[in-house]
Amino acid sequence: PHRLVHRLSLDLRGVRPSPDDVARVEVDAAAYDTLVDEYMNDPRFRDRAMDLFAEIYLTKTENYFVNLAAYGVDDVPAALLLDSIGREALEVFGEVADNDLPVTELVTGDWTMANEVTARLWPLDYPDGASGWQRAHYTDGRPAAGILAGTGIWWRFMSTDSNANRKRANQTSRIFLCHDYLVRPIEFDRNVNLLDQEAVNDALRTNPGCLNCHVSLDPMAAHFFGFTSLQPDSTDAGSYHPARERGWEDALGTPPGYYGTPTNNLSDLGHQIAADHRFPQCLTEHAMRVLLRRDAELLDMTRLTEHRDALIEGGLTVRALFRSVVTSPEYKAATDDGLPGTQVPLKQATPGLLVSQTEALTGFR
């Protein structure tokens, strides 16, 4: 019980439990489920959920290939500037988790999260004189597509002209569908001259080895041309450009679509993902990975299905999913006895978890 309550408190709140909480579970094992609900209703749950899924979204970085000087934010400390850009998508996730919104809002919502820093970078209706993270709306005509319509995530995952937004499409697939094209096995025709762009373009349309991925990847990539920046030294990259949405005609020659279903814009893509059975399945896999600290394996499929069903039956809320995982036998197992599904290695604290523990114990951040 002592180790289990510590594990739970660190995972759901980022801090160590009180001696009283440990004693409650030592006296009555049923008190554990009560603690689960208490910890998930703790104000620190929001930041902890964001910290866990930062490992999935990967939007935080120390450099963005954007001319930030053009935005007139030289007075903003570099650490705060970079953190604010990288947190936009995570703050959306945190808002969904903390307010028990259906996770479909992640890809269909008509709002984003902004603070006083991102409000200076991007066209948002953030209130003048306000501070801190709060809901806001983009004012440049971009479609409603939740995180997919945010600027921060696509500053993190930029695209070159020749890449034609395929990187953005793959990150969308990796994050929301758990399908990473870059680890997909392919049989490639080595006779294609990779130095001949025309030959490459022809192969992408006709070569079976290329079509294996590009038949679904390219139609998804076609949704992101509104984010095309033509003037990298200006603030052009901070806005969405509806007039450039049809850039796929020249760059890809493939219209927007979703696994064979024609679509019109980014909003359609978000709704297709939200309706895809792989979306809740993928979110469940992510939750298991960050809470159990291991990838889901074949022996986990039954439990994975149970957690996914709990997510759906719980109104597609993050709390319903987390509750299912942290009350599972795999999470509560006390030892690594070698039996399938019971391997519980000691979990190494992430940088964010070390920060929150230290701050709670000492007041120093």
124-136, pLDDT tens digit by residue? 999 999 999 999 9
- Both tokens of residue 287? 């939750």
pLDDT at 188: 66
> What is the rounded CA–CA span in Å between residue 129 and residue 127?
6
- Whether 210 has a pLDDT exceeding 90, the answer reads no
CB atoms within 10 A of CB 230: 10
Residue with tokens 């995180």: 147
pTM here is: 0.92
pLDDT at 184: 78
pLDDT at 299: 83
161 or 207, higher pLDDT: 161
The H or E element containing residue 197 is helix 197-206
Q: What is the DSSP letter of 62?
A: S
- Both tokens of residue 279? 């979306």
pLDDT tens per residue across span 234-279? 999 999 999 999 999 999 999 999 999 999 999 999 999 999 999 9
Residue with tokens 């890449």: 163
Residue with tokens 């499409």: 169
Closest listed residue to residue 148, CA positions, set 63, 268, 231: 268
Closest listed residue to residue 176, CA positions, set 263, 324, 260, 57: 57
Quick one: pLDDT band at residue 348, thresholds 50, 70, 90?
Answer: confident
Range with the largest mean pLDDT of 82-86, 179-183, 290-294: 82-86
- Both tokens of residue 75? 């007075």
> What is the rounded CA–CA span in Å between residue 248 and residue 62?
30
Q: Judge contact between 186 and 213, C-beta under 8 A.
A: yes
The total number of residues shown for the chain amounts to: 365
Residue 30 has phi, psi (to 5 degrees) of: -65, -15
CB atoms within 10 A of CB 334: 10
Instruction: Average the pLDDT over each of 39-48, 203-212, 261-270 and give the range with the smallest value.
Output: 203-212
- Whether 337 has a pLDDT exceeding 70, the answer reads no
Give the 3-state secondary structure of residue 100: coil
CB-facing half-sphere around the CA of 309: CA atoms within 13 A: 6
